[in-house]
Amino acid sequence: MNVQRIQAIFEKDMKDFMKNTMMFFTPLLPVILAVFYSRLGEGEEMPLMMIYLIVGVTYSAVTSGTMMMLMAEENEKKTLRGLMLSPASFLDIIIGKSLAATLLTVVSLVVSLLIMGIAPLLNAQAIMGLVLLFFFFLFLGIGIGLFVKTVGITTAYLMPIMFLFGFTPMVTFLGFAEDSLTMKIAGAFPLPQLIEMDETHSWLSIGVVALWMLAAALFAFICFKKVKQNE
Amino acid sequence: MENSIEVNGLRKTFGHKSAIKDVSFAVKQGEIFGLLGPSGAGKTTMIKLLTGELVKTAGEIQVQGMPPSKFQTAAFKAQIGILSDNSALYERLTVYDNLKLFCRLYNEPVSRIDEMLIQVNMQEEKKKIVAKLSKGMKQRILLAKALIHRPKLVFLDEPTSALDPGNTAQIHRVLQTLNEAGTTIFLNTHDMEEATVLCDRVAFLHHGSLQELDTPENLRYRYSTHAFHVETFSGNKLVIENNEGGAEEIAKLMKHGCIKSMHTDNPTLGQIFLKVTGKELV
Ligand SMILES: Nc1ncnc2c1ncn2[C@@H]1O[C@H](COP(=O)(O)OP(=O)(O)OP(=O)(O)O)[C@@H](O)[C@H]1O
Ligand SMILES: [Mg+2]
């Protein structure tokens, strides 16, 4: 690991991102949704679920999405080989890109939450949950980014991630019975855990989200090993 | 260390397919070594084996005095430069930003960018977006990128294939200057003219085996019939043997002032390759 190389890759990715019209739209998506939601419920208190929905959209689209796309594009455009032949290690490359995805996520999330009302999330437990959740989505993005070969394919992976993990709270609108298996499973997903934590203040929820994060980290690690092996 | 590259009994298989079959050779420090072969001969595979992108199946490799186990180290990467057959630049970024990235990855000062742009004659395009450059210009920037860290040994995989003569000449000029300064160059090509112009020694690779290895001059002498090709003013083209009978024949032609032109049989590398392998180079 080398700080200068990580920084070089981070800056290159940020510059490249700014000039990529397709990707540039991604961090704006949660902001636009936030404006839309806050107009919708003008004057009323913003439901916590809506706030977490914005978090879910930001993390899935901006964190996982850009991470995957940044990695897939290096593969597709054959620029990855140049990086790999340089003294930069694979880890340098991944960390540099992760930093770019992190910066974009933070900006997008903070702006969206300021629009929605950030107050309900300003406590240590919620912030911890948000950080763990962020790494969950980041690792998912890294893992998938390691094996996708084209930017086009990333959409196919991004969709299920968005619906499963980004929009999980929406399952309540699908009309399943409160004690059905689907609802129980959905309840164990990271986003519903964090919403529930707001009432229960239970550290168990943090534990569950941490487990999800560890699972995602393991997934990314396995993908990393697989890619190294195939070289 | 006299040899920059040493290869002994090298083999590489992909599944059941043998891409490199028991190849041995050495590349001397400071020479331009050409690996010639048609498509599918195994040229790219050879460069990948020598740079650590592929792992050998059997045999020995030493590059710049290091075994393959060292090929992933920064010390090794600092010594070699690679222009591979499908390298690419970041299309949305400027020429400058592309080179800046590699300056920083190799820990070179950014002042190196201008030096390299002058070398490849691209100073004017410094602020241009790569996507707007021609293919030949991109290739010259890729060459600048490959050389940015002053490598001692440079691998080039068909650096001028599909380029126009102007860009090709520019690249050749850069390579010659580089070589005069002491850089060893390993060049893959299926362009016999390129090999003749640039290489100190060439090796023929055919179906993964090395067939010949010598200087272009020696090869051309060795595969020459040594006969004389004579064209007379009356338009006759004669091939005259290099022996007593031939001498008399030529003397007669000379006495009568019939000879318009005369030269020894001097096959091109392409013709020699065809003779050795029975296959066209291109
Ligand atoms: N990763 C791989 N997996 C399987 N076979 C491969 C692989 N790489 C190369 N080959 C095979 O090895 C042989 C040599 O390929 P290589 O790319 O080295 O040829 P080349 O001389 O560089 O050809 P060209 O002039 O077209 O670039 C080919 O038959 C090719 O199909
Ligand atoms: Mg090739």
**Is A77 in Cβ contact with B88 (below 8 Å)?**
yes
pLDDT average, residue stretch A77-106: 94
> Scanning the structure block, which residue is given the tokens 């229960």?
A200
pLDDT average, residue stretch A9-26: 92
Whether chain B has a CB inside 8 Å of the CB on A121: the answer is no
Least confident of B53-67, B116-130, B234-248: B234-248
State yes or no: pLDDT of A171 exceeds 90. Answer: no
Count of CB pairs separated by less than 8 Å, A with B: 60
State yes or no: pLDDT of A60 exceeds 70. Answer: yes
Q: Is B263 in the pocket of ligand 1 (CB under 6 A)?
A: no
- Kindly report the length of chain B: 282
| B52, closest residue in chain A (CA to CA) | A85
Q: Rounded to whole angstroms, how far apart are CA atoms A183 and A180?
A: 5
**Is A7 in Cβ contact with B92 (below 8 Å)?**
no
A214-219 contacts at long range (C-beta below 8 A, 24 or more positions apart): A216/A135, A216/A136, A216/A137, A216/A138, A216/A139, A216/A140, A216/A143, A217/A135, A217/A139, A219/A139, A219/A140, A219/A143
Residue A231: the pLDDT is: 61
Distance A12 CA to ligand 2 centre (A): 29
pLDDT tens string B16-46: 999 999 999 999 999 999 999 988 999 999 9
State yes or no: pLDDT of B274 exceeds 90. Answer: no
State yes or no: pLDDT of B243 exceeds 90. Answer: no
What is the domain extent for residue B94? 88-150
State yes or no: pLDDT of A41 exceeds 80. Answer: no
**Is A78 in Cβ contact with B105 (below 8 Å)?**
no
Q: Which of B51, B78, B101 sits opposite A12 (nearest CB)?
A: B101
Confidence of residue B246 (pLDDT cuts 50, 70, 90): confident
Distance B273 CA to ligand 2 centre (A): 18
Whether chain B has a CB inside 8 Å of the CB on A4: the answer is yes
Pairing of the two strands B237-240 and B228-232: antiparallel
pLDDT average, residue stretch A20-34: 90
Pair B201, B116 in one domain: no
Least confident of A145-154, B46-55, B139-148, B244-253: B244-253
Pair B134, B186 in one domain: no
Of all protein residues, the one whose alpha carbon is nearest to atom 12 of ligand 1 is B19
Pair B199, B282 in one domain: yes
Confidence of residue B256 (pLDDT cuts 50, 70, 90): confident
pLDDT average, residue stretch B118-129: 95
Pair B145, B193 in one domain: no
Q: Is B14 in the pocket of ligand 1 (CB under 6 A)?
A: yes
Pair B179, B46 in one domain: yes
| B76, closest residue in chain A (CA to CA) | A87
Q: Is B52 in the pocket of ligand 1 (CB under 6 A)?
A: no
Residue B49: the pLDDT is: 96
This complex has an ipTM of 0.90
State yes or no: pLDDT of A34 exceeds 90. Answer: yes
Q: Is A134 helix (H, G, I), strand (E, B) or coil?
A: helix
A45 secondary structure, DSSP code: P
State yes or no: pLDDT of A158 exceeds 90. Answer: yes
Distance B52 CA to ligand 2 centre (A): 16
Pair B72, B194 in one domain: yes
Pair B209, B163 in one domain: yes
Using CA atoms, how far residue A190 sits from A132, B120, B154, in Å, is 9, 54, 51
pLDDT tens string B79-120: 999 999 888 999 999 999 999 999 999 999 999 999 999 999
Q: What is the pTM for the complete model shown?
A: 0.89
Report the percentage of chain A scoring pLDDT > 70.
100
What's the mean per-residue pLDDT of chain B?
A: 92
B252 burial level (CB within 10 Å; 0-12, 13-18, 19+): exposed
CB-CB neighbours of A222 under 10 Å:
12
What's B43's domain CATH number? Answer: 3.40.50.300
| B146, closest residue in chain A (CA to CA) | A82
State yes or no: pLDDT of B214 exceeds 90. Answer: yes
Pair B27, B142 in one domain: no
Residues of B in contact with A83 (CB under 8 A): 105
Q: Is B12 in the pocket of ligand 1 (CB under 6 A)?
A: no
Confidence of residue B168 (pLDDT cuts 50, 70, 90): very high
State yes or no: pLDDT of B280 exceeds 80. Answer: no
State yes or no: pLDDT of B279 exceeds 80. Answer: no
Q: Choose among A218, A215, A164, A214: nearest CA to A189.
A: A164
**Is A77 in Cβ contact with B106 (below 8 Å)?**
no
Pair B46, B94 in one domain: no
Whether chain B has a CB inside 8 Å of the CB on A8: the answer is yes
The continuous run of DSSP H or E covering A9 comes out as helix A3-18
The total number of structural domains that make up chain B: 3
Is the Cβ–Cβ distance between B94 and B126 less than 8 Å? yes
Pair B232, B257 in one domain: yes
Q: Is B44 in the pocket of ligand 1 (CB under 6 A)?
A: yes
State yes or no: pLDDT of B282 exceeds 70. Answer: no
Question: Torsions phi, psi of B3, nearest 5?
Answer: -100, 135
Q: Rounded to whole angstroms, how far apart are CA atoms B23 and B10?
A: 5
Which residues does B contribute to its contact with A (CB < 8 Å)?
Answer: 51, 53, 74, 77-78, 82, 84, 86-93, 97, 100-102, 104-107, 145
Pair B64, B105 in one domain: no
Pair B124, B244 in one domain: no
